[in-house]
């Protein structure tokens, strides 16, 4: 009799615990998928400033070809839609690299070889002009006897010119030294900083992990391997989400065909705006001024769809 009583109590307690766990899980999920209000939308967005370094790999050696400053928007986002899992993650767009605009992607060996030859010829011309200018400055400094303010400025400029000439000469010599049959490839190392505001409106700058890529981002290796996906996940260097911002969860289902209205977050130098936008077949209709690359896109009901890239929604 006593064993039956205790067994009944245990069953009731077990049923109660399971019910509480299920209700907690359902409530937790509902809380995380609840639509975001306008304040949350604005707090979730940030700007991303950085620099993309384009390298040419020639066998075992790598040669820096260009430095491109980058600027775009981004959104603090959770890794999983059903639970807080941001840990410093940002969803944004790929950086725009002028080299890829000219030669396309992926770059064939022939196009890459032609690009190296064009760059070598162009740099040789620049080097020649700089060398002439450097010699003229050296001649002026030798013949100018009075050391006044103008002399000091020209002397400083002459030192800078010598540095430029040395750098150009090394680069031209390195390009000329590339073997004719050496396999060539490109890769980019991007250094980014997320810029946002805390609860008091003070500007915060959060360094991000360096991003190494060659075209298309592969989350497992944190490298890009081809051109296709135009969204990128960044992460802060310390894997923490700054205080005062709001991490959104991406809408887990695809956009319905009858969805016609949307909201985009546009960050200006002194303000952040929530702009009404319209959709047609999943594409934003407003000019890119109101849907810049990396801008977060929400439905009218407050669900995050992804970010804008050339007015298309990607995630």
Indicate the DSSP class of residue 236: B
The Cα 220–Cα 289 span in angstroms is 33
3-state SS assignment for residue 190: strand
Query: What pLDDT sits at residue 224?
Result: 44
Instruction: Tell me the pLDDT tens digit for each residue of 59-114.
Output: 777 888 888 899 999 999 998 877 788 999 999 988 877 766 666 666 677 777 88
First to last CA, the chain: 61
Q: Is the residue at 265 inside a domain?
A: yes
**Of 132, 151, 176, which residue constitutes the final position of a domain?**
176
Residue 38 main-chain phi, psi, to 5 deg = -60, -40
**Of 176, 211, 229, which residue constitutes the final position of a domain?**
176
The Cα 256–Cα 291 span in angstroms is 20
Of the listed ranges 118-122, 145-149, 235-239, the one predicted with least confidence: 145-149
3-state SS assignment for residue 36: coil
Q: Are 278 and 261 in contact (CB under 8 A)?
A: yes
The Cα 267–Cα 52 span in angstroms is 22
- Are 250 and 301 in a shared domain? yes
- Are 200 and 273 in a shared domain? yes
- Are 233 and 94 in a shared domain? yes
Q: Is the residue at 237 inside a domain?
A: yes
Nearest of 190, 185, 238, 186 to residue 94 by alpha carbon: 190
Q: Is the residue at 127 inside a domain?
A: yes
Question: At a CB cut-off of 8 Å and minimum separation 6, what does 129 contact?
Answer: none
pLDDT confidence band for 221 (50 / 70 / 90): very low
Domain extent for 119 = 109-176
Residue 191 main-chain phi, psi, to 5 deg = -110, 120
- Are 283 and 266 in a shared domain? yes
Q: Is the residue at 101 inside a domain?
A: yes
Give me the CATH number covering residue 279. Answer: 2.40.10
Cα–Cα distances in Å, from 123 out to 69, 134, 168, 170, 252? 21, 16, 7, 11, 50
- Are 84 and 140 in a shared domain? no
- CA 188, 191, 196, 199 dihedral sign is positive
- Are 54 and 151 in a shared domain? no
Instruction: Tell me the pLDDT tens digit for each residue of 295-313.
Output: 999 988 888 888 998 888 8
Is the bond leading into 106 cis (omega within 30 degrees of zero)? yes
Q: Is the residue at 11 inside a domain?
A: no
Q: Is the residue at 136 inside a domain?
A: yes
- Are 245 and 125 in a shared domain? no
**Of 176, 199, 233, which residue constitutes the final position of a domain?**
176
- Are 78 and 199 in a shared domain? yes
Residue 310 main-chain phi, psi, to 5 deg = 55, 40
pTM value is 0.74
Indicate the DSSP class of residue 100: H
Query: What pLDDT sits at residue 215?
Result: 52
Tell me the β-bridge partners of 77: 248
- Are 304 and 212 in a shared domain? yes
Query: What pLDDT sits at residue 259?
Result: 60
Element (H, E) at 170: helix 149-176
- Are 164 and 65 in a shared domain? no
pLDDT confidence band for 141 (50 / 70 / 90): confident
- Are 239 and 271 in a shared domain? yes
- Are 86 and 204 in a shared domain? yes
Q: Is the residue at 51 inside a domain?
A: yes
Question: At a CB cut-off of 8 Å and minimum separation 6, what does 48 contact?
Answer: 70, 71, 72, 73, 74, 90, 92, 192, 193, 194, 195, 208, 234, 294
- Counted domains in the chain: 2
Q: Is the residue at 256 inside a domain?
A: yes
Cα–Cα distances in Å, from 27 out to 32, 81, 83, 248? 9, 14, 11, 17
């Amino acid at each position: 009799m006593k064993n039956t009583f205790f067994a009944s109590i245990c069953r009731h307690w077990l049923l109660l615990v399971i019910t509480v766990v299920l209700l907690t899980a359902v409530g937790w999920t509902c809380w995380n998928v609840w639509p975001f209000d306008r304040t949350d939308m604005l707090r979730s967005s940030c700007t991303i400033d950085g620099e993309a370094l384009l390298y040419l790999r020639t066998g075992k050696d790598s040669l820096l070809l260009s430095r491109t400053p980058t600027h775009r928007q981004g959104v603090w986002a959770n890794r999983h839609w059903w639970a807080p899992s941001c840990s410093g993650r940002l969803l944004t767009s790929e950086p725009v690299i002028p080299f890829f605009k000219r030669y396309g992607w992926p770059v064939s060996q022939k196009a890459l070889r032609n690009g190296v030859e064009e760059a070598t010829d162009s740099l040789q011309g620049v080097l020649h002009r700089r060398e002439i200018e450097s010699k003229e400055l050296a001649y002026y400094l030798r013949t100018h006897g009075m050391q006044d303010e103008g002399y000091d400025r020209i002397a400083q400029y002459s030192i800078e010119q010598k540095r430029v000439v040395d750098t150009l000469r090394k680069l031209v010599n390195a390009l000329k030294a590339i073997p004719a049959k050496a396999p060539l490839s490109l890769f980019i190392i991007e250094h980014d900083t997320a810029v946002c505001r805390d609860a008091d409106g003070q500007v915060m700058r959060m360094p991000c992990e360096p991003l190494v890529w060659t075209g298309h981002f592969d989350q497992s290796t944190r490298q890009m391997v081809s051109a296709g996906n135009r969204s990128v996940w960044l992460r802060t260097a310390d894997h923490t989400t700054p205080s005062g911002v709001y991490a959104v969860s991406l809408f887990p289902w695809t956009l319905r065909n009858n969805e016609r209205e949307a909201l985009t977050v546009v960050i200006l130098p002194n303000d952040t705006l929530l702009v009404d936008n319209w959709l047609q077949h999943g594409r934003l209709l407003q000019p890119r001024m109101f849907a810049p690359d990396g801008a977060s896109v929400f439905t009218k009901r407050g669900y995050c769809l992804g970010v804008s890239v050339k007015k298309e929604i990607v995630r």
